[in-house]
Copies of this chain bind each other. A is one copy, B any other.
Amino acid sequence: MRRSEAPPAPKDERLPLEPRIKLWVEKDGRLVLSDYRVRLLRNIAETGSLAEAAQRLGLSYRRAWGKVREMERNLGLELVHSEVGGAGGGSSRLTPQGERLVALYGRFRRAVERDLGKEFHEFFQR
């Protein structure tokens, strides 16, 4: 504002701009999937343990468990199957539905990022 002394930018100037998004999925207005939540599920799949997945993400076990329960409740699907007890203190794994959602979300996210870059180029960088 009031910088009329600045020379006008050339019309074809290409600003080094970058589009960014935050992506999530709602069901009935409730958050059910997000990068963060899907990362939690992925870590459960990788470690076979909710405790280890929580630790990797710097969450308390209780909080991680609450997130999974919340997702399951909001989706109306079982995503994680846990077996309690044994010498190792139990284990957790994704259900087939959980695996499917994690895979779908990952592909969806990559497709959205790809489209985003394409549209941005179309509108801002041609």
Using A18-B26, A78-B1, A81-B2 as known contacts, say yes or no to A119 and B112 having CB atoms under 8 A apart.
yes
B20 touches A25 (CB 8 A): yes
Q: Which residues of B contact A77 (CB under 8 A)?
A: 9, 15
A21 touches B18 (CB 8 A): no
Q: Which residues of B contact A111 (CB under 8 A)?
A: 119, 122-123
B119 touches A1 (CB 8 A): no
Q: Which residues of B contact A116 (CB under 8 A)?
A: 112, 115
A72 touches B3 (CB 8 A): yes
In the bound assembly, the distance between CA atoms of A79 and B6 in angstroms comes to: 12
Q: A interface, by DSSP: helix, strand, loop or mixed?
A: mixed
A119 touches B124 (CB 8 A): no
Using A17-B32, A122-B111 as known contacts, say yes or no to A78 and B6 having CB atoms under 8 A apart.
yes
Partner of A3, one of B2, B21, B78, B104: B78
Q: Separation in Å of the A81 CB from the closest CB of chain B?
A: 7
In the bound assembly, the distance between CA atoms of A25 and B120 in angstroms comes to: 10
Q: Which residues of B contact A104 (CB under 8 A)?
A: 123-124
A24 at the interface (CB under 8 A from B): yes
Interface string of A25-39 (1 = CB under 8 A from B): 111100011000000
